Amino acid sequence: MISSPLSDWGIYIHIPFCRSRCTYCDFNTVTGMGEDDYARYVEALLLQWDRISKMPSGHVVSIFFGGGTPSLLEPEYFKQILGAVKDKLRISLEGVEVTMEANPGTIDEKRLREYRRAGVNRLSLGVQAWQDHHLRRINRTHTVLDARQGVEAARLAGFDNINLDLIYGLPQQTLAEWEESLTGVLGLEVDHLSLYQLQIEEGTPLAGQLQRGRLRVPEDDVSADMAELGRKRLIQAGFIPYEISNYCRPHKHSRHNRLYWTLNPYLALGAGAHGYWNARRWWSIRGVKQYVDNLQNGGDGIAGEERLDRLEEMREYIWLGLREEGGFSRRRFQDRFSVSPEGSFGVTLGKLGRQGLVERRSDYILLSRRGREMANYVFREFVTAS
């Protein structure tokens, strides 16, 4: 398994704007804003970047524009932001993974070319399903055709690293429809695929619809079948499963996500964005207006932070590391914490081993096949009850 050096780090940049809100979404997003708001927001992002005084010492390997819908912002803004990053760090973006999330309904070849020129080299499209009635039901603003045309346009615009997101377990979704979605996205021959099970979050319109009995999500057994089918079909098509929900063509794994799983540092820009470095986690102010005001008034945009003690870091290292198909390296763990994983968690790891959930392969500790299905069960062993 490829390991990123301990000193690699990344930057997460949150763009909270959306045209409309998907019914399942509970992320930090806002609708109904216009160009003026975008301009002020980018200004605030740049101020926040300016005011970061200390940087990790290693190499920036990834910059990730997440949302929201980053593709609502003009390419010019990306140029400004990436330019500011380059200037302050005195680096070129050569070899840096620069990802942008996009909604298939918001892009065309011309626009994509400009993003590419601004420095974006990886595109992540939220396709979600291959049936327009599903897309409508969850209030996505694009169609299946948009998704197909979006991928085509991205190729023409020069993107050679494209990810598509798909969701299974949608309300009223059948196994056959899921299979159709898989076939659909595989036909687009992209480089990376993420398969997520729909999470029902409290307070979302979808949670209300389910509660009132207007919609139903598939039974547990059906969504388990969907997960199995997804993995099988993607592997057959030549994708490498490298993380619990992520699949890639050779050498096309997402560097950014892997920083999270290996507890490497990442800085955070933008409303509600989360950063991590030196056992400290922090997050920016969630409200867009409050975030902008704070920075315009000389603030740093930070809303809160937590410090992880060594034990908590070790725990996170394990349960985040286990998300990777190959697991985590015992040697790396030992280098970082000066103790072996078994030295600290021997009893738990032993139990999980006996239950057939984790395995050891030379230097690596990883989830077994059953462990992957029951990943949450395994992870819970490494957190303390709240």
Partner 1 sequence: MNQAEIRNFSIIAHIDHGKSTLADRLIERTGTLSAREMAPQVLDSMELERERGITIKAQAVRLDYEHEGKVYELNLIDTPGHVDFTYEVSRALEACEGALLVVDAAQGVEAQTLANLYLALEHDLTVIPVINKIDLPNANPEKVQEELMDIGLDGTEAILVSAKLGIGIEETLAQVVSRIPPPKGQVEAVLRALIFDSRFDSYKGVLVYIRVVDGSLRVGDQILFMATGASFEVTEIGVFRPHPTAVSTLSTGEVGFFAASIKTVQDTHVGDTVTLASRPAQEPLPGYRPAQSMVFSGLYPVDSSDYGRLREALERLRLNDASLSFEPETSAALGFGFRAGFLGLLHLDVVQERLEREYNLSLITTAPNVVYQVRLVNGEEIRVDNPALMPPAGEIQEIQEPMVNASIITPSEYIGAVMELAQERRGIYKDLSYIDKQRALLNYLLPLGEIMFDFFDQLKSRTRGYASFDYQWSGNMPADLVRLDILINGEVVDAFSMIVHRDKAYHRGRSLVEKLRELIPRQLFEVPLQAAIGGRVIARETVKAMRKDVLAKCYGGDITRKRKLLEKQKEGKKRMKSVGSVEIPQEAFMAILRVSDK
Q: Which residues bind partner 1 (CB under 8 A)?
A: 12, 14, 27-28, 66, 194, 196-199, 220-221, 223-224, 227, 244-245, 257, 260, 266, 268, 272-276, 281, 283, 306, 316, 319-320, 355, 357, 372-377, 379-380, 383-386
What residue type is 16 in one-letter code? Answer: P
Whichever of 74 and 373 has its CB closer to partner 1, that residue is 373
Ranges of H-type helices in 307-368: 310-321, 330-337, 341-354
Of 278, 329, 268, the closest CA to residue 302 belongs to 268
Query: What residues are paired with 329 via a beta bridge?
Result: 364
Whichever of 116 and 345 has its CB closer to partner 1, that residue is 345
Three-class SS of residue 361?
Answer: strand
Cis-peptide into 68, omega within 30 deg? yes
Whichever of 100 and 157 has its CB closer to partner 1, that residue is 100
Question: Shortest distance, CB of residue 113 to partner 1, whole angstroms?
Answer: 27
Question: Shortest distance, CB of residue 269 to partner 1, whole angstroms?
Answer: 11
Whichever of 6 and 113 has its CB closer to partner 1, that residue is 6
Of 213, 120, 230, 116, the closest CA to residue 172 belongs to 213
What's the burial of 57, exposed, middle or buried (CB within 10 Å: 0-12/13-18/19+)? exposed
Question: Shortest distance, CB of residue 357 to partner 1, whole angstroms?
Answer: 8
Whichever of 107 and 273 has its CB closer to partner 1, that residue is 273
What is the C-alpha to C-alpha distance for residues 178 and 169, in angstroms, rounded to an integer? 9
Ranges of H-type helices in 106-143: 109-118, 132-137
Of 8, 12, 1, the closest CA to residue 263 belongs to 8
Whichever of 231 and 289 has its CB closer to partner 1, that residue is 231
What is the C-alpha to C-alpha distance for residues 72 and 189, in angstroms, rounded to an integer? 25
Question: Shortest distance, CB of residue 117 to partner 1, whole angstroms?
Answer: 25
Question: Shortest distance, CB of residue 149 to partner 1, whole angstroms?
Answer: 25
Whichever of 122 and 372 has its CB closer to partner 1, that residue is 372
All residues at 6 or more sequence positions from 126 whose CB lies less than 8 Å from its CB, including other chains: 101, 102, 103, 104, 140, 164, 165
Question: Shortest distance, CB of residue 245 to partner 1, whole angstroms?
Answer: 6
Question: Shortest distance, CB of residue 23 to partner 1, whole angstroms?
Answer: 16
